[in-house]
Amino acid sequence: MTDYNTIAGTGQPPRTCNSCHAANPGPGSDRLILGWFQPQPLKDAELRNVYQKQLYTKHSTQSIDGFGMEHDGNISTANDLLRQSTFSGYTSQQKTDIISYVVCFDTGTAPAVGYTITLRAANVNGSGEQSDWATLQSQASAANIDLIARGTILGKVHGLLYQPSKANYISDNNAVYTQAQLQGDILAGDTLSFMGVYPGTGATK
């Protein structure tokens, strides 16, 4: 991170990585349009998805997906990017340090987004399932996710949204349930799947 923030490249004028790809905190871009690029101006690319761009490589006849570090697939990996003349002033170790930093860049999305557990009578009291359920609720309380649930309550299909401030769930028909009540219904034969979704997108329907 130190190299990324403090060492200027050999472009004109010389700039640090952070001067264009603002980080810590940030998405890895100051979102400015850079007018000196040819044949047309370009917006500073964000870096929070660089780890995904490593799935593409022009050095193989087969690649998983994507188009690498540039829009046209000409530069595939972060290592290829730092081989460009703009970065010739960096030592090999500095390039390694910068690559290590950008491939672990914060994506801006909590790991719990998309995580799902399905609870049935057979597993609802399991230590792993109870731990995962508690983790999802704590992530919702920390505003990293919204926590929703879909499944049956007393045999009828419903949607639920966790309300962290009240530590309960509200359903699509405005009924309110505690965790203990839902657990009791699941033990009686219901099934509910709980999933973390991006903050602000949770709903009961």
At 81-114, the pLDDT tens digits run: 888 877 877 888 988 888 888 877 777 788 899 9
Over residues 144-159, the mean pLDDT reads 97
CB 160 within 8 A of CB 148: yes
Q: Of 103, 126, 160, which residue constitutes the final position of a domain?
A: 103
Please state, for a pLDDT cut of 70, what percent of the chain lies above it: 89
How many of the other CB atoms lie within 10 Å of CB of 167? 12
The model's pLDDT over 113-147, given as tens digits with 9 standing for 90+, comes to 999 999 999 999 999 999 999 999 999 999 999 99
Pair (27, 89) in one structural domain? yes
Parent domain of 44: 2-103
Pair (76, 124) in one structural domain? no
Pair (76, 126) in one structural domain? no
The domain tally of the chain equals 2
The predicted model scores a pTM of: 0.64
Q: Of 73, 103, 133, which residue constitutes the final position of a domain?
A: 103
Does the pLDDT at position 29 exceed 80? no
3-class state of residue 36 by DSSP: coil
Q: Which of 60, 64, 62, 100 is nearest to 79 (CA)?
A: 100
Pair (90, 182) in one structural domain? no
